[in-house]
Amino acid sequence: MEIGTIGAGDFAQAFAKRALKTGHKVKLSNNRGPESLREIVNQLGPGAMAVTKEEAAACEMVLLAVPWDNVPETLASLPKWKNQILIDGTNPFHGKAGTFRPAAVGNLSTSQLVAALAPGARVVKALNNLPVPHLKADPVVNRARRVAFISADDEDAKKRVQTLLEGFGYSVIDLGNLRDGGLIQQAGGPLAGRNLLEQGERHK
């Protein structure tokens, strides 16, 4: 599968490494254009490509990995979505690392706001509970699997992201829809930033 990334920072690169390791191709993009990503894709190796945001967004599955303050402008700059799966890995913080301030998102989950800003996309909340060091690390720790949470309103899209993440090696827990599950797993929720491990195989 070809997976696009909107954003190419540490989080997107860690995701790309995990996807490439499991046989997928990754098209990375940022606001500065493909030329600014040449060194990054060379380091990532075969299967990684530097593309425009429009090309990345055209993939069947796309990771949204930009700072929260950039989400509205970034999504507004993209072509109309045509049923692609949009993995929302964002958390509601203003500012950059070291100066984070929680963002007010009203009574919606951040992913509900993302879905409203990306009509036509099938939004799945995932991976936002895993900080970059954990995403870079082996998903299996002492024979236990690191837990990844997912939430979505579209069951087929959620199942496909679950399959992707299980292929990465994670134990995936479905938290329900974008509102209820999103509020639980996003920053400020009870499962935000939790480094949970699950021993043994889960019942399907």
What are the boundaries of each domain within the chain?
2-199
Q: Quote the pTM value.
A: 0.91
pLDDT band at 201 (very low <50, low <70, confident <90, very high): low
Task: Pull the structure tokens for residue 202.
Answer: 């889960």
The values of phi and psi at residue 173, to 5°, are -115, 125
Structural contact between residues 87 and 37, judged by C-beta atoms closer than 8 angstroms = no
Identify the pLDDT of residue 101: 54
Identify the pLDDT of residue 27: 98
What CATH architecture applies to the domain 2-199? 3-Layer(aba) Sandwich (3.40)
For 46, counting Cβ atoms within 10 Å of its Cβ (0-12 exposed, 13-18 middle, 19+ buried), the class is exposed
pLDDT band at 204 (very low <50, low <70, confident <90, very high): very low
Which of 190, 128, 194 lies closest to 161, judged by CA? 128
